Structure 1
């Protein structure tokens, strides 16, 4: 495979942007952000960083479905190969959609190549990124443009950056298209719990969750109760489940265990429950009523602080009673569901590129 991403400089001198991701979800985000650029069919490139957690080519391909990079072969590059690629191609901007340590390593080298060449360095925050974290900011201390995905994140990270004395700007980029009415025929009788690795933590938490799902499936045979373990699986949860099956505390066949892309569950879903984070945001974007469980805590580790004030918080009793909700409109406008016309990250990026060309960065 070529080490050079699909690349061409767009007509009219539009800035050339190289995006580097280190996971399948971040590759999807990078492709979406490249698609937001004017003349996006031209001045862009996308590569995935090779590391201990490099996603498989199949997962990368699946993540890029529905974007302009669908079907393209995306190169896997080491840190050294990324640095050499930037030296050789000299993009106007480098978009680092990676974990904090990878952003820190690559942003340092991207700003230290050559005296006469200095690309603009941008980086997206993790999703969700609240409460604002000094650690996330410090990993991006040498980044020119930090990209947030909600008005609330922009406000909190701007305030924190000023407090820390950091010079980077904070821009806004949408995660989801603007929501319309939910479409698709057919009965919606599926109750989905979206499990993610490490959540809930510990055997007791897993047992409480699995017992609730099993009881719901027994009490409501008219519903299809699904335990969705994602594309990565959930070894701890499945290990606890197997022990409970062997001891006769839960059924082998209910709840149904499924994997694969979460969005495939939405068409038939009556409601989705999770501890927080992206599954709930994805459900809200798809107009699926949701429930954010608070039995296992509220905080950064659970990824559910962002849902404070949304009207989505509840507990296992609510799950068993199928009490799902849609979020408050005012919460949505401040947290990931703003109008796409509010996005300003591209304007910030192009202004910074112009300043870099003039030697003003």
Structure 2
């Protein structure tokens, strides 16, 4: 019998730990899977870790923490056939560069933990040294394939069902009564918009005191998230005076929160996909429009948009049937990531898998030290990291000032207003917002 192939994931923050653990938990007995939680400034707390592992399929004893100075030796000892890098773009680029120097070099796999429409240049650029890039829908795969060709950055993409959104049918018992709100750290970004949502939650709770409105927080106060959150909903709600008793916050896992849900409210959280998989309806709030920066185009295409009045009335939506197959609910047999990963491992063992070349960049070793220091923080105690930080912070500030000045000058140019006009289908010009004109400018996890 062929020995199990060894796969190790490296993750740090909440959303990536959840994704990596759930992904590895879908593998069968032909794989020996484990997860290393890397200590970075974004690393999950013990409570977060327990929550993210709950129901994910990867046993707790297969998960351990590791400090940066020990990571490469741990990977070398485990002689992993494949390493899944689960983290924000800068962390993935730094780790891929380091892991490429291991002998034997493992197959380097990466991916994004949720909705990844539209495809962005940054997501690809950060992952150029990875051998395989996992996506979660046919649509995502098409968009990333097209973008990689346009950028001239070849990449292998594979399909993997979003692991914590596997279709499981209706929840046992059904009949939940909670309106569960799934917030995001950076969507919407403006305080005024987030305060508008907070007021909406109060309205929804006041409309029916017999049913709860649950704000499903991703972290307790003091815990870190993948993206830093300004204007958290507990803080915003605290500014609104006395709150309805049926408006509550919860730091339980999303899986637990959905067990008592009637439906889910979000702007664009992947919780919407998780809810659909369990047969729950959704409202994707339409108060701020539809734009790449809101990461809600794919939910709009599903017919899930709803107004604030819909939220108060709990008039939830279900996705159009035609949408499902192309967006996260394809047939299980369409998933090819495990097979493609196995093929790459075989190619590596045979000596025919060439490593992916790093993207050429200005700065050399000092740039590498800067990236390592900014990603790892106090975990990087090297002199090179300290030097790069000392030089890099003022340099980056100067560069940003130059870019800001150039944008200001460009905005005053006579033709700037002309560029902001585009002809509509009737031949008349229409004003185009910056968010709709630049589809690759997003705030989601890169």
Q: TM-score scaled by structure 2?
A: 0.71
Which segment is superposed worse, 186-195 or 286-295?
A: 186-195
- Please give the alpha-carbon distance, in whole angstroms, between the structure 1 residues aligned to 2:157 and 2:176: 40
Between the aligned partners of 1:303 and 1:194, the Cα distance in structure 2 is 14
Report what 1:162 is aligned to: 149
1:135 to 122, 137, 158: 122
Structure 1 segments of 4+ aligned residues over 6 angstroms from their partners: none
Cα deviation, residue 112, structure 1:
2.6
The residue number in structure 1 matching 2:215 is 227
2:180 alignment partner, one of 192, 200, 221: 192
Question: Would you say 1:307 and 2:295 are equivalent positions?
Answer: no
Distance 1:87 1:330, change over 3 A: same
| Count of residues paired in the alignment | 344
1:255 is matched with which residue? 247
Cα distance, 1:158 vs structure 2: 1.4
User: Are 2:24 and 1:34 equivalent residues in the alignment?
Assistant: yes
Write the distance in 1 (CA, Å) between the matches of 2:261 and 2:79: 47
Task: Provide the rounded CA distance (Å) in 2 between the counterparts of 1:187 and 1:45.
Answer: 37
Structure 1, residues 110-168: CA drift from partner, whole Å, max 9, x if none?
Answer: 22334xx2321110123111100110101110111000011111111112122222332
Counterpart for residue 70 of structure 2 = 81
Per-residue CA distance 1:259-282 (angstroms, 9 max, x = gap): 322222323322211111212111
Q: In structure 2, do the counterparts of structure 1 residues 169 and 197 end up closer, same or farther at CA, with 3 Å as the change threshold?
A: same
Query: 2:10 maps to which residue?
Result: 20
Matching residue within 323, 334, 338 for 1:342 = 334
State whether structure 2 residue 256 is matched by structure 1 residue 267. no
Q: Which residue of 2 aligns with 1:45?
A: 34
Q: Deviations over 1:49-98 (max 9, x none)?
A: 11001111232233222344333163222334222223333322111111
Q: What is the aligned partner in structure 1 of residue 437 from structure 2?
A: none
Q: What do the CA deviations read for 1:168-197 (whole angstroms, capped 9, x no partner)?
A: 210011114653541333643322222233
What is the alpha-carbon distance in structure 2 between the residues aligned to residue 229 and residue 34 of structure 1? 25
Query: For residues 15 and 188 of structure 1, do their structure 2 counterparts lie closer, same or farther at Cα, with a shift above 3 Å needed?
Result: closer
Helix, strand or coil at the partner of 1:72:
helix
Match of 2:47 among 58, 63, 85: 58
Kept in 1, the 8 Å contact 2:111–2:133? The answer is yes
> Of Structure 1 and Structure 2, which has the larger fraction of its residues in helix?
2
- Unaligned 5+ segments in structure 1 are 1-10
